Chain A
Amino acid sequence: MATDTLASDSQLREGQIAALLRRSERLQLGLLLFPGLFWLMMFFALPLVVVVLYSFATNGPGGRIEWTFTLNNYRTLFTESLYVNAYWRSIWAGVWTTLICLLLGYPLAYYIVRRPPQWRTVLLFLVLIPFWTNFLVRTYAWMLILSNNGIINSAIQALGLPRVALYPSEGAVLVGLVYGSLPFMVLPIYAALSRFDFTLMEAAADLGANQVRAFLRVMLPLTMPGVAAGSVLVFIPTVGQFVVSDLLGGAKVDYLGNLLQRLFTRSNPPNWPLGSAMAIVFMIVLTVAIIIYFRVTTEEDR
C-alpha cells in the first residue's frame, strides 16, 4: 500500500512539472537554450568583454593595469607608424597570399576533379600530407631551402651564377604563407568543383562561349561559394600569423601578429591594454572585410 502511494506521489509531482513546462513556453525555451548560451557566454562573450575593457584601461608602471578610462591605446594605434605599418603590411600579406593561393589552388582543384575517381583520392591525399608534419618544422624546412647555403642557392652556384639573398625577406614570408595556406584554398574549391555539372561547360560552348567566357560566366559563378570559403580560410589566419614572419622574415619587419605577441608576452614591461586595443581593431577590420567580400562574391546567386 505504502509503495503505491509513494509511486503515485512521484507520478503526481512529475505530472505537475510536465504541466508547468507545457504552460510556460518561456521556461521551455530557457531550458533548451541554456547549455548553448552558457557555453557562448563563458568562452566567447566573456573573454571578448574582458578584452574590450582592457583596451580602454591604462597601462601602469611595470605593466600593471590601472582601471582609468582612456582612448590613448586607440590613439597610439592610429597615429604611431609602427602600428599603422604593421596593419597595412599584414593586410597586404593576407591579400597577396589569398590571391596567389587562389591562382594556384583553383587550377590544382580543377586538375584533381578532372582525374578518374581513383586518382582523385590519391591526389587529394598528397595535398593533405604536409599537414601531418608540424607546421614549425615545415617552416624551418623553407629556411633551409631559401637560405644562403640552401638548395636554391646551391643550385644557382652550381650553374656559376652569383647567389641571391632570398632569406630572410618579405618574399620568403609570402612563400611560407602561401605554402602553409594552399590546402585551405584547394579543399573548398575542390568540394565546389566536384558538385559542378561539367555538362554546363558543353552547353556554354554549344551556345557560342569560348573557354574563357564559359569559365567566367558559368564555372566561376557556380563555384564561387568554394572560392569565398577558401579565401576566408586563407585570409584570416594569414593576417594574424606571427610564426612565419618571425622565422622567414628574420624578425626584422613587424606584422600584426608579431606586435601582438610582443605586447602581451615579450616586451618588458608588457602592455596588455594596447594589445587588447590592437586585437579589437583587428577583429573589426576583418569582420568588415569579410562582410564586403561575401556581399560581392555571392551577389550573382541572389
Chain B
Amino acid sequence: MNNGIAVDLRNVVKRFADVCAVDHVSMQIRDGEFFSMLGPSGCGKTTTLRMIAGFEFPTSGEIFLHGKSVGNTPPFRRNVNTVFQSYALFPHMTVAENVAFGLRMKKTPPVDIAQRVTEALELVRLGSFAARRPRQLSGGQQQRVALARALVNHPEVLLLDEPLGALDLKLRKEMQLELKSLQERVGITFIYVTHDQEEALMMSDRIAVMNAGKVLQIGTPTEIYERPVCRFVADFIGETNFIEGKVESVESGGIATILSDDGLTLRGQMIRSVAPETSVTLSIRPEKAFLSVQPPPPGTPNCHQVRVERVAYIGSDTRIDVRLGARLFDLWEQNSRSTLDRDAYWQPGETGYLWWPAENAIILTE
C-alpha cells in the first residue's frame, strides 16, 4: 500500500499559540533514503521532525508511517527512533544499559538484548566502551552511543536532529562520512535535520529546503544547487549573484534575454516558461562566470568589459569582485596552476572581460 514510501506528510500544519511553525507541509520520504530538511533556524524543520517522532501532534494534516496514519500516536507506540542534538543519553546508566533501554521496554528476551547491544556497539566501533558511563566519553563517542541506542531497535525511520551540531569541525567532517556509510550499510531511512548546507549536499539523497514553515523545494543535491526554484533557495544554498530585470524576449531551448534594471542586456536559462515583460531575477553562481584578459570571440553572450575591484586569494580559488553596472559581481577562479608569478593572478584596478554561457545563469520568478 505504501509503494516504498516510508513517511508521507500531507498538508501538515503546526501552530504554537499564534505562531505557525509548520505551514501546510507535504512531502514523501522514500524507503532507505537519506533525506535532509535544510533551512535557517526557526524554519520549522525541527518541529516537522518532532511531529514525525510523536513529540508534537499536528494542528491539522496527516502523517503516515509506511501507510499507517500516526498523527496522534504517542512516541512510545511508533517504531521510529530519534538521535537528539544533545544526545540525551541517560547519565545514570552505562553505555550498554543506554543501548539496551529500547529493547528492554519492548520486553525483548535478555539473551537477544545482550547480543543486539554488542552488535550495535560494534557497528559504531564502541565495543570496548560498554561498561562506561556517558560522561566518561568524548562528544564524538557520545554521539555514536546515541546512534547505537536508536539503531539497535531497527526503527522504520531514524530521525536525526542536527546530530553533529555540537562537534568541532574536524570531527564533524569525519562523522558526516561515517553517518553516510552507516546509513548505506544498515539501509534504514534517515531523516536528517540541519542548517548546514554543505552537510546536507554531501550526505543526502534528497533535500527539502524550508523557510518560514514552508517547504520551498525538494530535490537531489544537484537539482537544489543547479536548478533552485526561487531566490531564497539559490541564496541559502551556496553563493550567487542576483541581477534584477525584465524579460525582453524568449528563444527556443528555454533561453531568454533580460534587460536588467541598470540597462545591461543579459541572457539566461528559464526553469519555467516566462512571458515577456515579467519581472525576474537572474542568478549566476560565482564559479560559473569567467573573466578573461583577451576579449572572447564576437557573439559570446553576457560579455561585458569590467574593472577588478577586489581580489581575495584563498588557496584553492581566487575570489574576485568586479564592477558590473551598479553592482559588484563576485566570481571565483580556480588556481589550477602552481606559480608565484604575480601576473598569473588578477590585481585590483585591472580590466578584463566578464562572460558566462546563457545556460549558466538561472532565471528566477520568485
Contacts and interface: CB of A to CB of B under 8 A. Distances in A.
B106 interface: yes
Contact of B86 (A197, A206, A209, A210): A197
Interface in A167-212: 197, 199-200, 202-210
Interface stretch (B74-82, B241-249, B327-335): B74-82
User: Number of contact residues on B: which range applies?
Assistant: 20 to 34
Contacts of A208: 76, 102, 105-106, 153
Nearest to A300: B92
Contact of B82 (A197, A203, A222): A203
A217 B97 CA distance: 11
A163 to B, nearest CB: 48
A266 interface: no
Contact of B105 (A197, A213, A301): A213
Contact of A207 (B74, B86, B149): B149
Contacts of A199: 84, 86, 88
Contacts of A207: 76, 81, 101-102, 105, 149, 153
A96 to B, nearest CB: 29
A201 to B, nearest CB: 9
A206 B75 contact: yes
Interface in A217-276: 217-218, 221-222
Contacts of B353: none
B2 to A, nearest CB: 22
Classify chain A's interface size: 20 to 34
B92 A301 contact: yes
A210 B106 CA distance: 11
A210 B101 CA distance: 12
A228 to B, nearest CB: 14
Contact of B53 (A206, A221, A222): A206
Given A199-B88, A200-B88, A222-B91, A209 B55 contact: no
Interface in B50-103: 53-55, 74-76, 80-82, 84, 86, 88-92, 101-102
Contacts of A213: 105
A203 to B, nearest CB: 4
Nearest to A207: B102
A300 B90 CA distance: 12
Instruction: Find the residue from A199, A208, A218 having the highest chain B CB count within 10 A.
Output: A208
B156 to A, nearest CB: 13
A291 B75 CA distance: 40
Interface string B128-158: 0000000000000000000001100100000
A210 B75 CA distance: 9
A298 B90 CA distance: 16
A247 to B, nearest CB: 43
B84 A204 contact: no
Interface centre among A199, A214, A222, A301 (most CB of B within 10 A): A199
A202 B80 CA distance: 13
Contacts of B102: 207-208
Contacts of A221: 92
Contacts of B86: 197, 199
Nearest to B88: A203
A204 B105 CA distance: 9
9 contacts: A199-B86, A202-B75, A202-B84, A203-B88, A206-B76, A207-B153, A208-B153, A209-B101, A210-B74
Interface of A: 197, 199-200, 202-210, 213-214, 217-218, 221-222, 300-301
Interface of B: 53-55, 74-76, 80-82, 84, 86, 88-92, 101-102, 105-106, 149-150, 153
Given A206-B53, A207-B76, 9 more contacts: A197-B88, A200-B88, A200-B90, A203-B89, A205-B74, A205-B75, A208-B76, A217-B101, A222-B91
